[in-house]
Amino acid sequence: MAPIIIDLESSPSDESDPVVSRASTPGPSIECPDYDSQTSDQQSDRPIATLSERSVELDLSTEAAQFLDDPSNFIALGSFRSHDDGTGATGDHWEDVPADFAGATLNVEILQNLQKLSDARWVKVAHRSIATGPHRQHILYHVYLLRGDVGHRFVDRSSKKMLASLELILAHIDVSPETWAGDVGPGTKFDWWATVQEGSLFSKFNELPSPEPNLACVTDHYVRGAMQDLLEPESLQGIRTELYPYQQRSAAAMLQRESVSKLDLDPRLEQRTAPDGTCFFYSPRELIFLGKPRYYEACRGGILAESMGLGKTLICLALIAATKHHLPKMPSQSAVAPVRPNIAKLATMAVSAINRRSIPWKIELERIAAATGEDRLGCAQLLDQHPPSYEVPTIAQRTGRNAAPVRDSRTLAATTLVVVPRNLCRQWHAEIEKHVDADYLNILVMEDLSKPLPSVDELRGYDVIIFSRSRFEKEVKDGADGQNRRLPSGKQVCRCPYIGATRTRDCHCIRVEHLYVSPLRHLHFKRLIIDEGHAFSASQSIAVNVANKLITADHRWVVSGTPAKDLLGIEIEASDSVSREIVAAGRRAFDPREDTSGAIESLGSLVSNFLKVKPWSADVKRGKSVTWDDLIYRHENTRKRTYSGFSGCLSRTLSSVVIKTRPEDVERDICLPPFSHETVLLKPSLFDKLTANLFTLVLTANAVTSERTDADYIFHKHSAGARHHLIANLRQSAFFWTGFSTEDVQGSRKNAITYLEKEGTGASTADRHLLAEVVQAADVVLASSGWQSLSNSHELGLFVDEWPAETAHHWTFPGCTDPMLTGMSQALEAQRHVHERVGSGDPSDGLAGVGIKSLARAQQGRAYDAGLMDKQSKESAKAGLPSSSIQGEPSLKRRRSMSEDGRRGSPKKRRSSGGAPQLPATTQPASQNAPIPHETETAEVTSDRGPLTGSSVAGALDSAVLAAPVHLAIDRESPADQFPNHTPFQKTQITGTSSAKLSYLVSQILNYYHDEKILVFYDGDNTAFYIAQMLDLLHIRHEIYAKSLTAAMKSEYVVNFNENPDERVLLMDVKQAAHGLNISSASRVYFVNPVCRPNIEAQAIKRAHRIGQTRRVHVETLVLEGTIEEKMHERSKRMTGIEHRGASFLDDDDGMRGIIQGAQIIPITTDEMTGAGQIAPLAIPQQLWGRSGWQQSLSATDSVRPGKKRGTAASSNSTATPRTDRSKAELETQSSSHVGRGAALLSVSRPD
């Protein structure tokens, strides 16, 4: 992070005098012996210097003498003690030491420096004799230091020699009150570094006191009324939702901070107690001693850091509603009565006075109308026509010697600007509709990037303007023309070419009238609120530049439960008081690894660059500056930073900026529904075990054949990138994996056998045994015809019982008849084919032909992969490790890369030659599913997609644009009301899948989705696609919140899921779950794979377990028993917070690495290889055809083809893509961009 510069100002009492600064030398390096008479008597018997040898003293004026005689101008610094030789003062009174220090019995070095400081009038020294025993006396010397904030006219403070002498004195002086009082004791040395305040940033953040607004300190009549409204919610107008007590206090504390002027101690100072009991203020980095404190105006905004799910949006809305019509304050230099040449009208002077004082006149007129019924339209019209404004003189860009300054005007607006991530725009709008009375707030939403801002007069009429961050950043073009050109800093000289032979220039120079001027520049807003504002810690970001250059606002707020990276509330990591105490104890100590970078840097940048808190944001003046890191830490060296702990400056800054309620206070005010979090251990299916064993084959073969040396070894330090990708795939494979091919397994098996047969290898007997074991496991894999079929087709397998016998073999993978195994896409295609023909003849007509073509296309997927493999570079291959194991995940696009007529190629090229036309990607309600291309004996579809899935994607995404294929209409009647009875289709049931996790998850969804909404977190696009296919097959309405969605679509999905009762399941990428989302409508939460990151997991759970939740929240994490996944999950739970934060990737942890390196083969029995042993059964077998909702799926297919005549192709401009289908299409497009090396053993996904 760039240094945060702070101005080192002079004392307020004498701003023109120089300020004492520490000499460039480091702290004292000399020893600090006990300087008593035993070491000093032999040296102190001669005078240090005679009067004639000393420099001539300055003649002091009477005023200077009075100043130096005033004890209040000095600070009791400390004391020295020595044996009395009979020359010291006796009795109880003190005497000043003579100017020549004659008779002083101190160490020579100390005496010399004390004399220098005394001659320079920096110190005064007094002494007296003290009896310490019957026959023993000591002389006690009191040293008084001239305060650094007085006397600059009389005493020069710029001498570095004097500063060096002072440093030496400080290294030896005793500052204990006991020694000062004359007691003999061990004494206390002066600590000239910042006083350390124990604790980490995490503990200081979480130990901040809860807000306690004080109504008595508010003097403004209107603010006091608004604050009373917030603390007494029954009187708060415009908010229909009752605020919890902690929300009332937080909103009132925000208003108090905005309205009450407060002074905070200069963070460069700390208060200390002198030996005589008086207080002084000390600057450790500058070595300045002040008698009075310096203050800066406290922040008039700050950070609302309430924990996730505690209603930060509602708190902000309550603050906005309570201060409706409250104008920002007029700048003091403009709030003076104007001098008029003539006496103005009384109305004009009244308007001027109202505007200068920023009186919310609309509130007064509303009260008058409510009390008397008088509307006072004339007054309102007059005030509205003359809004409060002021001029800001600016320095014009110099275009000539006589350039005049340009006057820039600002108009006060009682408007709050809210900048939110684009994916939260709809959610903010929904929250306003939910909590705020209709028409109470006048709101403008600026989300469309092409929508221009209204005029200044129109903008100031809004109470709230909500910007998406991307739209807010577009205002950076202020001051630029249409070509993004800006006026040069100097005089502009036209050098454009002449037109032909004329002397007229073809001028294209920048003209002032062509420059864009943002309306935001000319308004002075009430406040600026940044939702999820931790991103504004980047000082050079476009959004921060726009906020700093264009926005004038009285108050700036950042709203975020995580105001800096990894700075979370303790309640996120621990849900109850006992566990919170354990976490707090473990993270209370200062840790240089965590507390010197990351969160603390982001916090400092946020405070200085966006919130503009003084003095952190002060301009550099007179070359005196320090940095953020200099002040918030204790550094025990002036030449380098030692980071010896936090100083008290950090706690003071946090308390003046952050508003956060402690979890115990929240729990007293509200009671969220309980939630349970359970780890569900599942028995892995046959295919889960085969996949796990193949990963073990890869890891073992690499370790043994590379002999665990050099960069060929996957755990070598130079193989980190490949290792991270491999382990990411290993984790995703616990759900389902098709990245293996028969050829890859055979090749890896051959390489292992070749190594075992080679003589002279460095492998140990144990390694050779392990390698032989994985070779046997590879033989078991190759013996499974079901695995080969699923691997070749990239399909997730379905086991089906009682498929109509006459067509069963056309839909069954080769060698997989008992039980029948087919692919998910094949089942969806067969389901759609039959449903479309119900009521129009024999549903089985053409079913066999469709099955033959569907299986043929499925089996061509791996061949296409092999073709890609020939074009890939093999430079990254490592010993025993196929190159595909460090490439992209298996792409679902591969099995759809061929059209149904067998053609390949670019969709654009085929469209240009008469293929399917490209259609606009519009959005329909999620209930409307896109038409699915199908094949019959009379109609075939030309598409680059091949078989598509149930209510899945309507067309392929080419260059991020959806294209819907043209297909012919089926000549049939409307769907029958009921599926025909007594047909073989009614007996067909799905008994299970090839994935234990999918079977369990689907069984749970079927059990609960009628009564509860369900949130499923996934990690990997293929996982989401497979789950969505299964939900399509079961006609369960769902949405996919994928990382590839646009921000606008993400916002729409969340709002639709919360508000639409028909949407039952939301699939969400777990890495998208920590961005302010409110999904309180879901009460069942499933993690398909363990997250292994407690903070990410906690934030994901908080999407559902938050204010607004009315049900008990059930959370389950699915784990395969007896696999590497289970061991990694257990290890992640045992890891401490420091271990988690120290491991950027999971395999950076030694424990995780040991688990992966020690992978073992999972035994597979003979029974599992045949019959029902292969199945991961569903809890209840599910009907394939004619199940509930089949008519709606067909109606949705018809509804997206309006105006289509029977027997004609669908109109290209009328086809729409539903949101669920669009999500899947984007998943496919994203997956296709990671095409890996298909002929290799692993096709590994990159960590998302």
Pairing outcome for strands 552-559 and 302-304:
parallel
Q: What is the residue-wise DSSP string for 658-692?
A: EE---HHHHHHH--PPPEEEEEEEE---HHHHHHH
Inter-CA distances, 1231 with 175, 234, 1090, 1234, Å:
70, 53, 22, 6
Q: What are the backbone angles phi and psi of residue 486, rounded to the nearest 5°?
A: -125, 155
The pLDDT value recorded for residue 185 is 79
Domain membership of residue 681 (yes or no) is no
Distance (Å, whole) CA 1109 – CA 464: 27
The pLDDT value recorded for residue 1217 is 38
- In the chain, the percentage of residues whose pLDDT exceeds 70 is 78
Distance (Å, whole) CA 413 – CA 444: 14
At 283 the three-state DSSP class reads strand
Let me know: does 1119 contact 679? Beta carbons within 8 Å: yes
Q: What is the residue-wise DSSP string for 305-322?
A: -PPTTS-HHHHHHHHHHH
Let me know: does 752 contact 705? Beta carbons within 8 Å: yes
Q: Residue 1008, class by beta-carbon neighbours within 10 Å (0-12 exposed, 13-18 middle, 19+ buried)?
A: middle
Let me know: does 763 contact 798? Beta carbons within 8 Å: no
Considering the domain architecture, whether residues 151 and 256 belong to the same structural domain is answered as no
Distance (Å, whole) CA 609 – CA 605: 6
The pLDDT value recorded for residue 490 is 72
Distance (Å, whole) CA 868 – CA 861: 11
Considering the domain architecture, whether residues 155 and 17 belong to the same structural domain is answered as yes
Domain membership of residue 577 (yes or no) is yes
At 54 the three-state DSSP class reads coil
Let me know: does 193 contact 635? Beta carbons within 8 Å: yes
Burial pattern 706-717, b for ≥16 Cβ within 10 A else e, equals bbbeeebbbbbe
Domain membership of residue 1199 (yes or no) is no
Domain membership of residue 594 (yes or no) is yes
Considering the domain architecture, whether residues 17 and 51 belong to the same structural domain is answered as yes
Considering the domain architecture, whether residues 176 and 81 belong to the same structural domain is answered as yes
Considering the domain architecture, whether residues 99 and 168 belong to the same structural domain is answered as yes
Rounding to the nearest 10 degrees, give the CA dihedral for residues 475, 481, 483, 488: -110
* Two tokens, residue 559: 């709203």
Distance (Å, whole) CA 118 – CA 112: 10
What is the longest distance spanned by two Cα atoms in the chain? 129
Considering the domain architecture, whether residues 376 and 442 belong to the same structural domain is answered as no
Let me know: does 1217 contact 699? Beta carbons within 8 Å: no
C-alpha 10: how far from its chain's center?
39
Q: Residue 1202, class by beta-carbon neighbours within 10 Å (0-12 exposed, 13-18 middle, 19+ buried)?
A: exposed
Considering the domain architecture, whether residues 80 and 209 belong to the same structural domain is answered as no
The angle formed by the CA atoms of residues 1146, 1150 and 1156, to the nearest 5 degrees, is 65
In this structure, the number of other CB atoms found within 10 A of the CB of residue 475 comes to 23
Domain membership of residue 95 (yes or no) is yes
The H-or-E segment that residue 1217 falls in is strand 1217-1218
* Two tokens, residue 1170: 């045949």
Residue 434's CATH number: 3.40.50.10810
Distance (Å, whole) CA 866 – CA 741: 9
Q: What are the backbone angles phi and psi of residue 810, rounded to the nearest 5°?
A: -80, -15
* Two tokens, residue 742: 């028969």
Distance (Å, whole) CA 111 – CA 101: 8
Q: Residue 400, class by beta-carbon neighbours within 10 Å (0-12 exposed, 13-18 middle, 19+ buried)?
A: exposed
Those residues with Cβ within 8 angstroms of residue 340's Cβ, 6 or more apart along the chain or in another chain: none
Distance (Å, whole) CA 457 – CA 1175: 69
The pLDDT value recorded for residue 1196 is 56
Inter-CA distances, 796 with 641, 712, 809, 851, Å:
58, 33, 18, 17
Rounding to the nearest 10 degrees, give the CA dihedral for residues 1044, 1046, 1047, 1053: -80
Domain membership of residue 521 (yes or no) is yes
Domain membership of residue 367 (yes or no) is yes
Terminal-residue alpha carbon distance, the chain:
26
**Listed residue (1239, 1237, 1241) closest to 887, CA to CA:** 1237
Rounding to the nearest 10 degrees, give the CA dihedral for residues 609, 615, 620, 622: 180
Considering the domain architecture, whether residues 138 and 209 belong to the same structural domain is answered as no
Distance (Å, whole) CA 103 – CA 85: 9
Distance (Å, whole) CA 1054 – CA 1062: 13
Those residues with Cβ within 8 angstroms of residue 275's Cβ, 6 or more apart along the chain or in another chain: 76, 77, 78, 79, 175, 176, 177, 179, 180
Element counts in the chain: helices (H) and strands (E): 42, 34
Considering the domain architecture, whether residues 310 and 170 belong to the same structural domain is answered as no
Domain membership of residue 1018 (yes or no) is no
In this structure, the number of other CB atoms found within 10 A of the CB of residue 165 comes to 23
Inter-CA distances, 145 with 73, 117, 232, 963, Å:
9, 9, 54, 82
Distance (Å, whole) CA 610 – CA 598: 17
Considering the domain architecture, whether residues 370 and 427 belong to the same structural domain is answered as no
Flag residues of the chain having pLDDT under 70: 1-60, 84-92, 132-136, 394-407, 575, 618-626, 861-977, 1074-1076, 1193-1248
> Where a domain ends, among 132, 148, 180?
180
Let me know: does 819 contact 863? Beta carbons within 8 Å: no
In a 13 Å sphere around the CA of 54, the CA atoms on its Cβ side amount to 17
Q: Residue 1167, class by beta-carbon neighbours within 10 Å (0-12 exposed, 13-18 middle, 19+ buried)?
A: exposed
In this structure, the chain runs to a length of 1248
The structural domain count of the chain equals 3
The pLDDT value recorded for residue 488 is 81
Considering the domain architecture, whether residues 373 and 320 belong to the same structural domain is answered as no
Let me know: does 529 contact 559? Beta carbons within 8 Å: yes
Those residues with Cβ within 8 angstroms of residue 198's Cβ, 6 or more apart along the chain or in another chain: 588, 589, 590, 645
Q: What are the backbone angles phi and psi of residue 1157, rounded to the nearest 5°?
A: -65, -25
- Domain membership of residue 352 as a residue range: 330-337+345-394
Distance (Å, whole) CA 597 – CA 565: 10
Those residues with Cβ within 8 angstroms of residue 510's Cβ, 6 or more apart along the chain or in another chain: 481, 485, 486, 487, 488, 492
Considering the domain architecture, whether residues 560 and 458 belong to the same structural domain is answered as yes
Distance (Å, whole) CA 405 – CA 399: 11
In this structure, the number of other CB atoms found within 10 A of the CB of residue 986 comes to 16
Let me know: does 900 contact 1238? Beta carbons within 8 Å: no
Pairing outcome for strands 389-394 and 302-304:
unpaired
